[in-house]
Amino acid sequence: MTAVKSIAVLTSGGDSQGMNAAVRAVVRSALFNGLEVYGVQKGYTGLINDDIRKMDLRSVGDILHRGGTILQTARCLEFKTEEGQKIAAENLQKRGIDGLVVIGGDGSYKGAQKLSKLGIKTMGLPGTIDNDIPFTDFTIGFDTAVSIVVDAINKLRDTMTSHQRASLVEVMGRSSGDIALYAGLASGAETILVPEIPFDLEKVAARMENNFAHGKRHSIIVLAEGVGKGEDFCKIISEHCGMEPRVTVLGHIQRGGTPTHNDRILASRLGDFAVSQLMAGDSGKACGIIKNELVATDIDTVVSTKKEFNHDLFELALRLSK
């Protein structure tokens, strides 16, 4: 395969902390290696609307520590059509752009997959707080999101302890329970409810009641949004034990804020790696990190595989939450 001479970068889907660090790494790595580099505004919408701008070193100055994405992001229904995909590919080709780095989640990867079949050399970077992309241990933004949840739980525990109450914290994760799992383990939550593991709310209520009866002064339940609504769960729990937990829905606060050093480093490594893979003539790959080693996996394989839930970590959380 022929190496690229000009590449573009876009962010797509939900934003995640560290996207800017990834964009910065792609741009500066490309420039360091003598490539032209372009930024696409508002994801695949920008490709279709030809909202593509040439970038230089200053274009990505002072963004390493910033949340969100300077390129902005948007969902694009038109790009899901064959006609929209052809327009996007043609807009890249007419500018002489032969490589594209896509930073986003599963839906973004599927877009990169389509473009790779239209002659655009593509690399996907896992930019999502949900940590639900397979063939990578961690995704860009996940570490920061977990840190935000842990900080919130730490603060909630103070007031729950003062009033001897229970708290249910609803976190993001429609189909993946990783934020709930990692944050619950890190914060010492008594109960973690995730889509991947069956549970019995009557047993959750009984355990909570028993803990308070034996002198415990607080109880924390972490609930992934994909399981259900926190308000509904609290009502059911109160029917079984007479104590209704207070609900905190963290929502989009989990996506914002300054990325942790782990997310900045991960994004920087992956962005540079994506450029090196394109320069080597590779295409149609998803970049990830496994056991601290950078890997590139066929994007066809990635989009057709569901990431495995870490049952060992969940069992550890159970053992330590007595």
CA dihedral (74, 80, 84, 85) positive or negative: positive
Token duo for residue 243: 């104590």
CATH assignment at residue 13: 3.40.50.450
Q: Name the binding residues for ADP.
A: 24-28, 157, 188-190, 216-218
Residue 313 lies in a domain: no
d(CA 30, CA 28): 5
In the numeric block, which tokens belong to residue 109?
A: 């990867």
Same domain, 44 and 21: yes
- Whether residue 310 is contained in a domain is answered as no
- Within 80-141, residue ranges assigned H as helices are 82-94, 106-116
| Binding-site residue positions | 14, 24-28, 75-76, 105-108, 128-130, 157, 165, 172-174, 188-190, 216-218, 225, 246, 252-255
Are residues 223 and 79 part of one domain?
A: no
209 and 270 housed in the same domain: no
The answer to whether residues 60 and 31 touch, using CB atoms and an 8 Å cutoff, is: no
| For range 186-194, the mean pLDDT | 94
- Structural domains of the chain, count: 2
Range(s) of the domain holding residue 122: 6-140+259-304
The residue-averaged pLDDT of 37-51 equals 97
Per annotation, catalytic residue among 15, 98, 130, 282: 130
Task: Let me know whether 25 and 171 are in one domain.
Answer: no
Instruction: Look up residue 214 and give its two tokens.
Output: 């034996």
137-151, 154-168, 284-298 — which is least confidently predicted? 154-168
Q: What is the DSSP string of 135-164?
A: SSS--BTHHHHHHHHHHHHHHHHHHHHHHT
130 annotated active-site: yes
Contact 71, 24 (CB under 8 A): no
125 and 30 inside one domain: yes
Pair 10, 109 in one domain: yes
Kindly state whether residues 104 and 209 are assigned to the same domain: no
Q: What is the CATH number of the domain that holds 192?
A: 3.40.50.460
DSSP state of 59: G
- Distance of alpha carbon 272 from alpha carbon 139, whole angstroms: 15
Q: What residues pair up with 7 in beta bridges, in sequence order?
A: 37, 99
Q: What is the largest CA-CA distance in the chain?
A: 71
Query: What pTM, to 2 d.p., does this model score?
Result: 0.95
Classify residue 316: in a domain, yes or no.
no
Q: Is the pLDDT of residue 65 over 60?
A: yes
Residue 133's pLDDT is what?
97
Q: Note whether residue 318 is domain-resident.
A: no
Is there a single domain that holds both residue 236 and residue 273? Answer: no
Q: Dihedrals φ, ψ of 275, to 5°?
A: -65, -45
On whether residue 309 sits in a domain, the answer given is no
Higher per-residue confidence, 240 vs 80: 80
pLDDT in tens, 267-295: 999 999 999 999 999 999 999 999 999 99
Could you tell me the pLDDT band of residue 214, with boundaries at 50, 70 and 90?
low
